[in-house]
Structure 1
Amino acid sequence: MSGRVPSKWEEMTAADPAHSSWYVDRFRSLAARGQDIVGEARLIDAMLARGSRVLDAGCGAGRLGGYLHGAGHTVVGVDVDPVLIAAAEQDHPGPTWLVGDLAELDLPARGVDADFDVVVCAGNVMTFLAPSTREAVLAGFARHLGPTGRAVVGFGADRGYEFPRFISDAATAGLTPDLRLSTWDLRPFDDDSDFLVAVFSRAS
């Protein structure tokens, strides 16, 4: 699309075309060694009734969406990187995996119902966006939530997106914060936390 701003992830993979394959191999190796790579997904699963609808925004190679599909949920995963989507399709059949730019998210235009029970954005995805697109991405999350749906976003400090600015951008995008945690295993957030997991509902 004319005028489209590439994400930081796209700039990284343009500079190093092997980066995406390295990323896929890294998580496959961690899983093969028995490492826990789905802690974020367990939190999301605990929030949901069986058979809920989940949008895995910035799904990467499908580690979270694959787990949530196996737990009985209907999952749609979107990522800008076709290498990662191909790996998700190979390793985690079942969910709907789509190549797409989160800044231009419009799943109804692609024949996908937008009323999700949860939009999850993990893996520091927010820090890999082009800064000028952050509000558009968050607004897309809000548009794709059902009336009682929630968005859950997690990323680390010192990655170029300050937590107060993120909360402000989310409010501008139509999301109301319900809960702030410092980890995906439910530890409370405070001013010294170096990670944020924020749970939002759609603003009235």
Structure 2
Amino acid sequence: MGKPTRWSTDTGPDHSQWYVDRFRQLAAEGADLGGEARLLDAMVAPGSRILDAGCGTGRVGAALAARGHTVLGVDADPVLVDAARADHPGPRWLVADLATLDLPASGITEPFDAAVVAGNVMAFVAPGTERDVLTRMAAHLRPDGIVVVGFGTDRGYALTVFDADIDASGLRREHRFATWDLRPWHAGADFAVTVLRRPAK
């Protein structure tokens, strides 16, 4: 692992288990937890290879797998990955740092058609590694593959900085929305969903 993530430094020792319990409770109550997966599913071909980057408890990746995609989930928090493995068998779940992600070194050499970075992941990576995270996403995509990133605009990662990091990562910004259900982007929106693409050439 690289630098400690904000997830580990800015939360209490019981936060990860609280997060696991919270999403298990929401699922038990029948809450709609599949919005991000519905968007990705609509954007990729059937049976795509999708990287769930910062997978947490696996809710997005599991929903994509249920739609027929091949999913690999990666998260730096072993408590969350253990919960994903317990609750959502089928996809592969790995503990790894997104800022230094090197899946070929783990024997996973086939590139991905898409990556999803949901759940405010970009606001929880280690400070100063946001550009590295985007660069590693680009490195694991096939040419013309997409990355969809969502996070709150009040989380300390300014969109101007994000956009500069996108440009430096080799990805290109195509669309921005205010929600995962594609409500129009507007200045002052408290959430941003951005669609990025690795250029084909």
TM-score range, shorter chain: over 0.9
Give how far 1:147 is off.
1.0
**TM-score, reference length from structure 1:** 0.95
Q: Which residue of 2 aligns with 1:113?
A: 109
Q: What amino acid is aligned across from residue 89 of structure 2 in structure 1?
A: P
SS of the equivalent of 2:167 reads helix
Q: Is the 8 A contact 1:114 1:143 kept in 2?
A: no
4+ aligned runs moved over 2 Å, structure 1: none
Q: Which residue of 1 aligns with 2:4?
A: 6
Q: What amino acid is aligned across from residue 108 of structure 1 in structure 2?
A: P
Select which of 29, 42, 45 maps to 2:41: 45
Question: Unpaired runs of 5+ in structure 1?
Answer: none
SS of the equivalent of 1:35 reads coil
* Partner Cα distance (1:151, 1:179) in 2: 11
Select which of 42, 54, 60 maps to 1:58: 54
Q: Is the 8 A contact 1:107 1:114 kept in 2?
A: no
Q: Is the 8 A contact 1:103 1:134 kept in 2?
A: yes
> Cα RMSD between the aligned structures?
1.1
- The answer as to 2:181 corresponding to 1:178 is no
- 1:96-175 matches, within 5 Å, as 96-175=92-171
Question: Unpaired runs of 5+ in structure 2?
Answer: none
Counterparts in 2 of 1:114 and 1:166: CA distance versus 1, 3 Å: farther
Q: What amino acid is aligned across from residue 74 of structure 2 in structure 1?
A: V
**TM-score, reference length from structure 2:** 0.96
Tell me the alpha carbon deviations over residues 8-65 of structure 1, each in whole angstroms, 9 at most, x when there is no partner: 012145xx22111110000010111111111111101111111100000000000000
Q: Is the 8 A contact 1:154 1:197 kept in 2?
A: yes
Q: What amino acid is aligned across from residue 116 of structure 2 in structure 1?
A: V
Q: What amino acid is aligned across from residue 30 of structure 1 in structure 2?
A: L
Percent identity, aligned pairs only, is 57
* Partner Cα distance (1:39, 1:63) in 2: 10
Give how far 1:114 is off.
4.4
Tell me the alpha carbon deviations over residues 148-196 of structure 1, each in whole angstroms, 9 at most, x when there is no partner: 2101000011110111110111111111001111100011112121111
* Partner Cα distance (2:133, 2:110) in 1: 14
Tell me the alpha carbon deviations over residues 115-161 of structure 1, each in whole angstroms, 9 at most, x when there is no partner: 11111000000000122111110100110111121010000111101
Aligned length: 200
Q: Which residue of 2 aligns with 1:192?
A: 188
